[in-house]
Amino acid sequence: MKYANIKYYDIANGLGVRTSLFVSGCTHRCKGCFNEIAWDFQYGEEFTEATVQVLLDSCAPGYIAGLSLLGGEPLEPVNQRALLPLLEKFKERYPAKDIWCYTGYTYETDLLAPEGAARCEVTDRILHCIDILVDGRFEESLYDISLQFRGSKNQRILQIHKEGCPQLFPADPS
């Protein structure tokens, strides 16, 4: 896997101050995407064990609330396989901090369903690590600058470690 960028001290992609990893590779190709350059699976730097250590170390200060995953598409199956060791190490090292993940896939149909588009042998383990999932493709026609932590009204912010997967900010019904 390759990654496009790491943002330290990010305050835009989840609650609090965070480290954000922008992975490379996305098959969605949403019209109006803010990060088209990261669609290419070969764009950016190699994601190595050294990268994992840099990310983990950057989350050590007490004022860092957690880690955010964006893209590209973190939940492309090839990216899930590469990210799993990072997420498991993060949860072991920082049990009080959270992981946010932004995906164009939909939780119920693409990630949970047995034949889901993004489902692979590590998906359940990945989902077990993620605390907040922002799901749904970016829809340019539903773009709304006033939305917190999402770009279009169809996207949802899900707290996935609570019974029944309650939505914190459900998709706008209109």
Contacts of 18 (CB under 8 A, 6+ apart): 10, 11, 64, 65, 66, 67, 68, 100
* pLDDT at residue 172, as a whole number: 55
Low-confidence ranges of the chain (pLDDT < 70): 161-174
* pLDDT at residue 163, as a whole number: 56
* pLDDT at residue 38, as a whole number: 87
* pLDDT at residue 78, as a whole number: 97
* pLDDT at residue 104, as a whole number: 96
pTM over cut 0.85: yes
Residue 83 belongs to some domain of the structure = yes
DSSP letters, the chain, are -EEEEEEEEE-SSSSSEEEEEEES--S---TT-TTGGGGSTT-SEE--HHHHHHHHHHT-STTEEEEEEESS-TTSHHHHHHHHHHHHHHHHH-TTSEEEEE-SS-IIIIIISTT-TT--TTHHHHHHH-SEEEES---GGGB-TTSSS-SBTT-EEEETTSTT--EEEPPP--
Task: State the CATH number of the domain containing residue 34.
Answer: 3.20.20.70
Do 67 and 97 form a contact (C-beta atoms < 8 A)? yes
Domain count, the chain: 1
| 19-50: pLDDT as tens digits | 999 999 999 888 878 887 888 999 999 999 99
* pLDDT at residue 34, as a whole number: 80
* pLDDT at residue 36, as a whole number: 79
Residue 49 belongs to some domain of the structure = yes
Q: Report the distance separating Cα 22 and Cα 29, nearest Å.
A: 15
Domain range for residue 161? 2-169
Residue 174 belongs to some domain of the structure = no
Q: Is 111 exposed, middle or buried (0-12, 13-18, 19+ CB in 10 A)?
A: buried
Q: Report the distance separating Cα 143 and Cα 147, nearest Å.
A: 9
